[in-house]
Homo-oligomer: A and B are copies of this chain.
Amino acid sequence: MDVQFAAAKISKYASRESGDTLEMIERPHGGISLVLVDGQRSGKSAKAISNVVARKAIQLLAEGVRDGAAARAAHDYLYTYRGGKVSASLNILSADSRSKTFVISRNNDAPVIVYTCDKGLYLLDEPSQSVGVHQTTKPVITEFPIEVGTIIVVFTDGLRHAGSLSGSNNYDPAAAVAQLIAENETSPRVIADRLLAESLAMENGRPQDDISVLVASVLPDLGDDIRRLDVHLPLV
C-alpha cells in the first residue's frame, strides 16, 4: 500500500501569518503523524498559540508517546501556560506502520470526514472539546485499519465556515467529498486543492479565517519502496 497525504493551507485575507500550524513527524516505531492546530483568534497571537500546541504534541510523538497522551499533554501544557484563557483546536492524524492502523485524535468541534470501501462516507463528529480552556479535556480517538481505498479529510474551522459572512450558505466539506468520491477521485492532492479552491470561491478569494485541509488516501503499492516528501512555500 502507498499511504499518501496532502495538505493545503492559506492565511486569512490580508493576514501575513496563519494562525493554523501543521507539522509532521516520523513515529519512532514506524509511520508518521501529522498535527494540525488552529489557534484562537488570528494573526500573530493565534500563531503563537498554535505553534506551542503543535510543538508540544510533535515533541512527544517523536519520543514514542502515544497519540492520546500527546494530545492530553498538549492540552495540559497550554492550559497551564495560559491559565485556561486561550483555546486551540488540535487534530492528530497518524499512520502507524507497526499496527497498520490510522489513529485519528480530535480536540476539535469540526468533524473529520472518513470514507472506507466497507462503510462508505461517514463523519467522526462525537462532541469534542478544544484544548486549553477546560481542566480535564481529552481527545476523541478513533483507530481503524489502513486499507486501500480509505480517504480521511481533516480540516480547521475556516473550511466549513467559508461563505458564512457573505450571507450565502456555509461551505459543506462532507458534500464536497461525497462528490469527489462519486467522481472516483483518490488523489489526496486533488481532493485537498479542490476543497480549498471551492471554499475560497465562497469567500470571493478573501478568506475571513485561516483555512487548512489535510487529506490522507490509501492507494495500491507503487512497488518502489521510496518515501517521498514535497513542500511548496510561497514567499513574498
Contacts and interface: CB of A to CB of B under 8 A. Distances in A.
A185 interface: no
Interface stretch (A4-12, A105-113, A130-138): A4-12
Interface stretch (A70-78, A116-124, A224-232): A224-232
Nearest to A3: B233
Interface residues on A, range: 35 or more
Contacts of A189: 228, 230
A28 B51 contact: yes
A174 interface: no
A225 B229 contact: no
- Determine how many copies of this chain the complex contains: 2
B231 A32 contact: yes
A24 interface: yes
Given A21-B26, A26-B21, A55-B62, A228 B227 contact: no
A188 B18 CA distance: 25
Contacts of A7: 227-230
B95 A233 contact: yes
A235 interface: yes
A1 B235 CA distance: 5
Contacts of A231: 4-6, 24, 32, 34, 227-230
A6 B228 contact: yes
Interface of A: 1-11, 17-18, 21-26, 28, 30-32, 34, 51, 55, 58-59, 62-63, 95, 97, 100, 146, 188-189, 192-193, 196, 221-222, 224-235
Enumerate the 7 nearest inter-chain pairs by beta-carbon distance, A residue then B residue, closest first: A230-B230, A228-B232, A5-B231, A7-B229, A9-B227, A3-B233, A1-B235
24 contacts: A1-B234, A1-B235, A3-B232, A4-B230, A4-B233, A9-B226, A9-B227, A10-B224, A22-B229, A23-B24, A23-B62, A24-B24, A31-B233, A32-B233, A55-B59, A55-B62, A58-B62, A188-B230, A193-B226, A226-B234, A227-B231, A228-B230, A228-B232, A229-B231
